[in-house]
Amino acid sequence: MIDVLLGLQWGDEGKGKIVDFLAEGYDIIARFQGGPNAGHTLYVNGKKVVLRTIPSGVFHKHCLNLIGNGVVIDPVSLMQEIEQLIPMQPDVLSRLFIAHRAHLILPTHRALDAASEAAKGEEKIGSTLKGIGPAYMDKTGRNGLRFGDILSKDFRKKYDKLAQKHIQMLRQYDHKIEWEQWEEPFFEACEYLSKLQTVNSEYWLDKQLKQGKRVLAEGAQGSMLDIDYGTYPFVTSSNTIAAGVCNGLGVAPSRIGEVYGITKAYCTRVGGGPFPTELDDETGEELRRVGNEFGAVTGRSRRCGWLDLVALKYTVMLSGVTKLIITKADVLDNFKEIKVAVAYNADGIETNELPYDICDVSIEPVYKKFDGWDKPISSCSSFNDTPEVFRNYCDYIEKYLETKIGYISNGTGRDQLMAIF
Ligand code: GDP
Ligand code: IMO
Ligand code: MG
């Protein structure tokens, strides 16, 4: 069976930390979508590491790491990531496998991302500008280059053909991007990556699963950024929900086992788009300060707000989450009052369902209030040790979402995690 771990909000739920913890119990960690727009933070022996394309099992010697076909790869970014890891994990390359079918992000994809965002002005998505959208557009438009193409003797020819198409497209934009300087490092990185272990990941995984290997699929971004079910058009360009695992790794739905869904004890979003429980006040500022809510990749300040159970119930449903993981519970330690949204007032009508369009509809959250806890969660070593108010808060979340909580994270460290079984 293949278990799944994915974010239930707008990303940055703490996936990196939790995968790093859970990796102890798995043989293979596999990324199934996204690309270097992800920033997954891990603390290894007190040292902070941010992973972008490499799965978060890389610090466990027994774990193989697969970059699946649903991922889009920026060769320069991946090469830099590997080079950064080698001093810490000299055997990283022997445990890293890349799907032939994963698509490549070209320098001109990054240029197109930047030009398109600049042209959108006020309505920009707030893309990470890593070329994600244009690379996935070429994939579905049947123009893209795949990782396996790096090994082809016609690679340069294929590249030139696609880059020419992009150059034509870039002419439509007023905004000029000096992308030519990115071409040489791109080819150098492709040369470097051509020596890595590439696999037909669908067959490779099938064999591993038949041998009884335990596999964990690691999601990037979050369910509310899903291309189909997120807050479109303020989304990323891949399927971030559990369904994306089947496409992104080539495994059948019947092989999916446990689905871990991660949520912060509050909510954040980086970039543009609707955010019903956003707090534009001192409380929001306090969440950002205590939670250190600044992007792992871009350093951008994250928008903060209360936990949104309406959106969570929706994303738990979409992925069939079997176990919840709540992170950053410690961040709420000093709040006198804690709120959670239990319904929306959407243009005057109360609902528990996420409306089709939350961009143009006025949404007023209906809140349930909880007293703050009288003992810091950060100092607790087990769930039984946590204050009663906190346990009641967890109980309410479980009942509302009709899903059990498996773990509560109360700090950045690998072991700052309380299991509830
Ligand atoms: P990811 O993209 O889902 O892997 O999450 P990020 O790494 O982008 O952001 C999560 C941030 O929260 C990182 O800086 C983590 O070190 C930090 N973090 C994770 N879990 C906890 C927790 O339980 N408490 C606190 N205070 N920080 C946490
Ligand atoms: P992890 O894996 C948070 C957001 C961007 C932007 C939108 C589209 O670290 O949770 P894109 O570059 O994909 O075209 O940007 O999605 N976004 C993320 N927000 N965490 C992420 O990844 C994100 N990846 C993309 O900010 O709003
Ligand atoms: Mg992140």
Q: What is the band of 347 on the pLDDT scale with cuts at 50, 70, 90?
A: confident
Q: How far is the CA of 44 from the centre of ligand 1 (A)?
A: 13
Give pLDDT, residue 22: 97
Catalytic residue among 3, 20, 40, 226: 40
Ligand 2 nearest-atom number relative to CA 272: 27
pLDDT at 6 > cutoff 80: yes
Which-ligand-closest: CA of 225? 2
Could you read off the pLDDT of 222-255 as tens digits, one per residue?
999 999 999 999 999 999 999 999 999 999 999 9
User: In the block, which residue shows the tokens 């949404």?
Assistant: 363
Distance of alpha carbon 62 from alpha carbon 66, whole angstroms = 13
Q: What is the pLDDT of residues 92-136, one digit of tens each?
A: 999 999 999 999 999 999 999 999 999 999 889 999 999 999 999
Q: What is the pLDDT of residue 296?
A: 80
- Ligand 3 center–CA 307 separation, angstroms: 18
For position 360, what pLDDT does the model report? 84
Burial 126-162 (b: 16+ CB within 10 A, else e): bbbbbbbbbbbbbbeeeebbbbbbbeeeebeebbeeb
Q: pLDDT digits over 261-287, tens only?
A: 999 999 999 999 999 999 999 999 999
| CA 127 / ligand 2 centre spacing (Å) | 7
Task: Indicate if the pLDDT at residue 164 is higher than 90.
Answer: yes
126 lines ligand 2 (CB under 6 A): yes
Distance of CA 142 to the CA centre of its chain: 25
Considering only residues 296 and 153, tell me which one the structure prediction assigns the higher pLDDT: 153
Residue 290 has pLDDT above 90, yes or no: yes
Ligand 1 pocket member 268 (CB < 6 A): no
Q: Which helix (H) or strand (E) holds 4?
A: strand 2-7
pLDDT at 299: 87
Position 421 pLDDT exceeds 80: no
Catalytic site includes residue 20: no
261 lines ligand 1 (CB under 6 A): no
For 5-30, what is the mean pLDDT? 98
Reply yes or no on whether 40 is catalytic. yes
395's CB contacts (< 8 A; 6+ apart) are: none
The pLDDT assigned to 358 comes to 87
> Per-residue pLDDT for 297 more than 80?
no
Nearest bound ligand to the CA of residue 329? 1
Q: How confident is the model at residue 187 (pLDDT cuts 50, 70, 90)?
A: very high
Report the number of secondary-structure helices (H) and strands (E) in the chain: 11, 20
Please write the tens of the pLDDT for every residue from 68-96.
999 999 999 999 999 999 999 999 999 99
Using pLDDT thresholds of 50, 70 and 90, give the confidence band for residue 407: very high
Take atom 10 of ligand 1 and give the residue whose Cα is closest: 14
pLDDT at 400: 98
Residue with the nearest Cα to atom 7 of ligand 1? 41
User: Is 55 a pocket residue for ligand 1 (Cβ < 6 Å)?
Assistant: no
Distance CA 315, CA 342 (A): 14
Please give the residue that has the higher pLDDT: either 357 or 154: 154
Mean pLDDT for the chain? 96
The CA distances from residue 124 to 127, 136, 175, 249, 271, in Å, are 8, 18, 14, 31, 9
Mean pLDDT, rounded, for 375-380: 94
The pLDDT value recorded for residue 374 is 86
Which residue puts its alpha carbon closest to atom 27 of ligand 2? 271
Buried b / exposed e along 307-336 (16+ C-beta atoms within 10 A):
bbbbbbbbbbbbbebbbbbbbbbbbbbebe
